[in-house]
Amino acid sequence: MPSSHLLIPGSERSEFHVTPKRIADIAPDASSMPTLALAGVTREGIPASPGIVIGPVRVLRMEVPTVSHGGIIPAEEVEAEIARFHEARAAVREQILRLQADTRTSLGEIEAQIFEPQLMMLDDVEVVDGTVSYIRENHLSSERAFEWRVLEWEAQWSHTAHPMVIDRINDLKDLQGRILRKLMGLPEPDLSSLFGTDEKVIVVARDLTPSVAAQLSPHRVLGLVTDEGTRTSHSSILTRSLHIPCVVSVDGLSGDINDGDELILDGRAGLVVINPTGADKQHYQELDFQIREWEQELLLLAHLDSTTQDGARIDLRANIDLPGEAEDARSHGARGIGLFRTEFLVVGRNALPPEEEQYRAYRQVLQAFPNEPVVIRTYDLGGDKFPAFLHLPKEENPFLGWRAIRLCLDEPDLFRGQLRALIRASAYGDVRIMLPMVTTLSEVERSRALIEETREQLAAEGYDVSRRARIGAMIETPAAALIAESLADHVDFFSIGTNDLVQYTLAVDRGSARLAHLYNPFHPAVVTLLNHVATVGLKKGIEVAVCGELAAHPLGAFMLIGMGIPSLSVGPAALAEIKKVIRSMYQSKAREAVVSLLGATTPEEILRILWEQLRSDVDLKRFGGLSNLWGSG
């Protein structure tokens, strides 16, 4: 059975996908579910932009120009060659600035910022001075000297698989191609010449640079598949903004497929089917129709309250990455923002972001939700997110190292700038400041002191600070969960980040394909910690929310509500579905299930208890997509 049948609709960011093996764990009678053996060759990648499309392939090959060997110039031409290199840099800067301006007009300010890293690289001392040094000292041509310097830079970065580093290498490749084409007198590729006049195609490429992705037209490109790339890459962000279905990291596909081959692309499941049969195409056309019908039905729920059948109101909020996503979240029925990730403001930059820029970003989200809470997470940097200006140290295990609140407290200029913008924005709504990766009480106390100090400074400067922002702690580690009772006396709310809590509790890298079978949010240890935090919140009278992906899983939402957690936050696309689950269930039945599962010793037993109780509580046939997901037996 293809895993596209089994993904929760709308779970674009999900870290926990329901696979055929897991569906068997959840539903004892899952064997009665229909199966389909695809005759076409199925390849799996990473879902980057949702949507199902079927069409002919166009393989896009845009390699960096090859520099001929040799490239030695006479000594008397060195200064002229250096000048030629600088002229090429200036010309490329103008190209990128024009492309950035076009992107700003067509897509928006945030998408236009994607080109900032390339503009910074153009002026990077290591790149520029290194190239000039090779020209002056080795009498190399500009092309050869620049190529050598880029290869050295790539070698420095190639030892890591961090997504942010991979994205930076992609930016460098884009820049390398532009400068070499300028130096070698080659034209920039004309994408319009790659497609037929009326032909709509699925583009397949080794990787796609941001400058090429920004020029793709949804009217000509049905979908995009790349051999490499990440979901967070600049190209992936652009395809989502353009609403082009996309799957990335399908290893070697561009070398295994030819122009004119037919392809099915499932951007929600991260699957492609090469040269599908008629039955394959019929299956995916029906699936696409069902998903679209399901999504339309769910959108009708947007204006309804998320209240259970026995009257328990659940605050359903949205997780967002960019300010522009706030309006989409509101249209899908969010009652506020439960997690606004702010790293987009700093990643890929060589300098601290201006306070005014941060302030405008926060204000934009608050204006979309003037009467609802907006929970803004302070910078969760480190791990796989590191702006150039921080010069983070090399660490054996960066996800257990200098990151998140630890880093912010050690970098007061960075932290104060963000706090100033947050407190200023509080004049426009209910700002709630959330501290990530808290593991000690002192981190909360130091943060509160800095927030209060910043607030007094702003008041002295004449800003309106009459509205105090609530302060909360993310519960992402067993340490934070176990000291929840002490933390509760010093914060206004908890927000449980289940993605990291599962990872750290089970000692399983959530990004590891080899260990994916061990990453299970229904493990008894995880469930025990979740219930403990929920109990502490009820006892201490503070709100407990869940903003991790478990909240976007129907069985997960059912369990969390049974624990008494009053607020869930999910991706905008999952809002309506989870609301439908909430409106169809009884909290009292969910509580009964939690009482039973707290004595369970395996994830399978916990899932079985939840499944049986939810099935008895909810007529899954009313759920369209869910009846296919969970079986109707």
Q: Can you tell me the distance from the alpha carbon of 138 to that of 336, in angstroms, rounded to the nearest whole number?
A: 60
Structural tokens at position 38: 């695809």
The alpha-carbon radius of gyration of the chain (Å, integer) is: 26
Give the span between the Cα atoms of 449 and 463, in whole angstroms: 19
Which phi-psi region, left, alpha or beta, contains residue 599 (left: φ > 0; alpha: ψ -120 to 50)? alpha
H helix intervals, 11-74: 20-26
Q: Is 523 a catalytic residue?
A: no
- Tokens read off for 118: 């390339």
- Within a 13 Å sphere around the CA of 83, how many CA atoms are in the beta-carbon half? 5
Query: What end-to-end distance do the CA atoms of the chain give, in Å?
Result: 18
Q: What is the rounded distance in angstroms from the CA atom of residue 49 to the CA atom of residue 236?
A: 7
547 is catalytic: yes
Instruction: State the Cα–Cα distance between residues 423 and 269, nearest whole angstrom.
Output: 40
Query: Which one is catalytic: 234, 283, 332, 553?
Result: 234
Which of these, 383, 375, 382, 393, lies nearest to 435 by C-alpha position?
Answer: 375
Nearest Cα residue to 364 out of 386, 388, 340, 380: 340
* Candidates 5, 246, 332, 547; catalytic one: 547
* Kind of pairing between the strands at 262-266 and 246-248: unpaired
Kindly list the distances between the CA atom of residue 42 and the CA atoms of 208, 282, 539, in Å, as whole numbers in the listed order.
22, 15, 51
Tell me the H-state helices in 268-331.
278-299, 325-331
Query: Cα–Cα distance between 579 and 313 in angstroms, integer?
Result: 11
User: Which residues are identified as catalytic?
Assistant: 234, 547
